[in-house]
Structure 1
Amino acid sequence: MTVRPAALVVAPGRGSYGKDELGSLARAGVDLSAYDAIRAAAGKPSLTDLDGADRFSPGVHLAGENAAPLIYAASMADLAAIDRDRIDVVAVTGNSMGWYTALAAAGAVSVEQGFRVADAMGVNSGRHGPGGQLVLGLGDEDWRPVPGLRDVVLALADQTGMAISIDLGGTLVLAGGEDAVKAFAAASPVPTTRLAGHGPFHTALMADSSAAAMAQLPADGFGNPAVPLIDGTGRVWQRWASPAEALWRYTFEAQILTTYDFARAVQVAVREFAPDQIILLGPGDGLGGAIAQALIGIGWLGIASKADFAARQKAAPFLISMARPDQRKLVTR
């Protein structure tokens, strides 16, 4: 009897469907009819038309109401392409908006309900007070933490009214009101980049988004995951032992209003389930560096630097990015 390698599946978040991904759903022959019907009923442009556009338009394709469903459809298509006869998916997690994909990937919601959640939250994510996000690095060129830098950054964030939106380990995404964003950027000890079109996600300023989600998306659409699910606090939602209402409440309260600690989610997942590989769903593979830095943060498999990670990937890839054809073939039929 052949033992299947155990895999942790990771779903990417907002920003992963970019110019290079335009047309990728059509090229892969993804059946979008069910998703298009849901969009049509709500008077929204179809994913077929969005993906099939002549050119990539940041104002259209990066807008939350279109980006979220495009990303969800691409990620779920990749999930379906994994050869389960060869791969044993033992746990699932995601980054930020990727949590909605992870819910469906783990079986806590149906595929269509997961799309409804992602589609609705693409709109609801625009309901917030004024503000935005800044991204900055905490590591050196070899992805190792710069001693003391995190403490300095967090002290400044506290002084200026910013909060950690997403913790990617070697990279932080901070969020806050407009004045806080400007004050932090002006005084930051390291370069910052403002994420265009992004609100103060994963902070209390998203209260209107949370309220809208809870009113629009009832708990009866949720159930127990069939595969363990790791959330943005590092909590493991075990299969057949996770109250549906609690999972629903986390999704539309804490997940929206508090820090999404993606690095911790990855670290908990590898420690708890010891996967033989991590499979990063598409679209894109921009999350690969963050996953590597999360592994470096705990020295997983002896990986202590970017060089260590690169050497491991060359010898026998631990991180499989489905957006890379040479790696994709390792886990698909």
Structure 2
Amino acid sequence: MKTAVLICPGRGTYNKTELGVLGRRFPDPAMLAGFDARRSELGQDTLCALDGAARYSMARHTRGDNASALIFAASYGDHLSIDRDGIDIVAVTGNSMGWYSALACGGALSPQDAFEVVNTMGQLMQDSLIGGQLIYPHMGDDWRPDPGRRAELLALVAGIGARPDHALALSIDLGGMLVLAGNEAGLAAFEAAVPVLDRFPMRLPNHAAFHTHLMAPVAETGRARLSPELFGQPDLPLIDGRGAIWWPGASDAHALWDYTLGHQVTETYDFTHAIRVAAREFAPDLFIVAGPGTTLGGAVAQSLILSGWRGIPDKAGFQTTQTEAPFLISMGRDDQRALVTKGE
């Protein structure tokens, strides 16, 4: 049996190529029907209607109230599909919104309660839509660490964020990428100050200023609507956006609620450090990235390189190691999915 850390993706991972993924892969129709019954009660489009649409719509499918629920369902469905006779999941983590999915996969929230958390926070984010996000690389195409470049960019961010009427901060430390969030003045100032690299700096559509102090009103409303009673002890170790580990049988459920609807919403989400902790504390045979999509795989690989995992120095080294013995499994890829699931 192989050990694995399960990694749940965040916003931006359900795209055109993922349309229909729930219909094809979600393994528990009754559970999906329960999610949709709740959305119908709230007057929202059902997941089956969104996932079964004739065509993908950026305006419709990337809205926070729709995207969050679609992504959670796809991730949790993948979690259910893993062959537990051959794979021992030793810890769970996630990126940004993926933390809510991780709470369900790790047993700290029931699937239904996790869906309530995801759906509520997604709706609150969409209703407020405070600020925005952009993404910019600090690694080159070879994925070699460049700490000097990263420090320069973060100094620039801090300088812009200190200007009057400008808000800008590191939202997510995402492997070789910096996800920045702020108000329009802050984002525009950063875009004007850095060189254009391929498609970067790239604004993220329908994204708010996640993981910054601008989200304090959303966090406050979320805490009012979502009871601490929803949260319990995890069944598996959970690695949060600070790299802290919530251990089964030793976690304070109220503190878990407080982190999830407090720090996790308003402070930087350090996904790179979460992966570093996963690698060093659990030393798994595999890192399994749940769907939807495959875009988080690169950030996981970059985070492992930055962590010195197996001495891999760059993209070429990662590709060589991955070819010889695949250790990073993206469930959004059919060929890799087959390595960790029973026949579907």
TM-score (norm 1): 0.97
Amino acid in structure 2 at the alignment position of 1:319: L
Asked if structure 2 preserves the Cα contact closer than 8 Å seen for 1:138 and 1:172, the reply is yes
Asked if structure 2 preserves the Cα contact closer than 8 Å seen for 1:175 and 1:203, the reply is yes
TM-superposition CA deviations, 1:183-234 (whole Å, max 9, x none): 1111124541111211111000001110111011110000011100000000
Q: Aligned partners of 2:125 and 2:70: how far apart in 1?
A: 15
Q: Aligned partners of 2:322 and 2:38: how far apart in 1?
A: 40
Asked if structure 2 preserves the Cα contact closer than 8 Å seen for 1:127 and 1:209, the reply is no
Look up the match of 1:182.
188
Q: 2:260 aligns with which of 244, 248, 251?
A: 251
Whether 1:22 and 2:19 are equivalent positions in the alignment is yes
Look up the match of 1:262.
271
What do you get for the CA RMSD once the two structures are aligned? 1.2
Amino acid in structure 2 at the alignment position of 1:44: Q
Structure 2: gaps of 5 or more residues: 162-167
Whether 1:173 and 2:179 are equivalent positions in the alignment is yes
Alignment of 1:1-333 (within 5 A): 4-28=1-25, 30=27, 31=29, 32-126=32-126, 128=128, 130-161=130-161, 162-189=168-195, 191=197, 192-333=201-342
Quote how far apart the aligned CAs of 1:289 are: 0.5
Asked if structure 1 preserves the Cα contact closer than 8 Å seen for 2:175 and 2:272, the reply is yes
Asked if structure 2 preserves the Cα contact closer than 8 Å seen for 1:133 and 1:200, the reply is yes
Q: Per the alignment, in what secondary structure is the counterpart of residue 166 of structure 1? A: strand
Q: Per the alignment, in what secondary structure is the counterpart of residue 126 of structure 1? A: helix
TM-superposition CA deviations, 1:71-91 (whole Å, max 9, x none): 111111110010111110000
TM-score (norm 2): 0.94
Sort the Cα spacing of 1:297 and 1:125 in 2 relative to 1 into closer, same or farther, 3 A: same
Look up the match of 2:165.
none
Q: Which moved more, 1:280-289 or 1:320-329?
A: 320-329
Structure 1: gaps of 5 or more residues: none
Sort the Cα spacing of 1:292 and 1:29 in 2 relative to 1 into closer, same or farther, 3 A: closer
Amino acid in structure 2 at the alignment position of 1:145: P
Quote how far apart the aligned CAs of 1:290 are: 0.3
Q: Which moved more, 1:107-116 or 1:185-194?
A: 185-194
Amino acid in structure 2 at the alignment position of 1:263: T
Q: Per the alignment, in what secondary structure is the counterpart of residue 275 of structure 1? A: coil
Asked if structure 2 preserves the Cα contact closer than 8 Å seen for 1:129 and 1:205, the reply is no
Quote how far apart the aligned CAs of 1:169 are: 2.5
Sort the Cα spacing of 1:289 and 1:22 in 2 relative to 1 into closer, same or farther, 3 A: same
Amino acid in structure 2 at the alignment position of 1:168: L
TM-superposition CA deviations, 1:122-170 (whole Å, max 9, x none): 1112355742112100112210123511111111111111210000131
Asked if structure 2 preserves the Cα contact closer than 8 Å seen for 1:166 and 1:202, the reply is yes
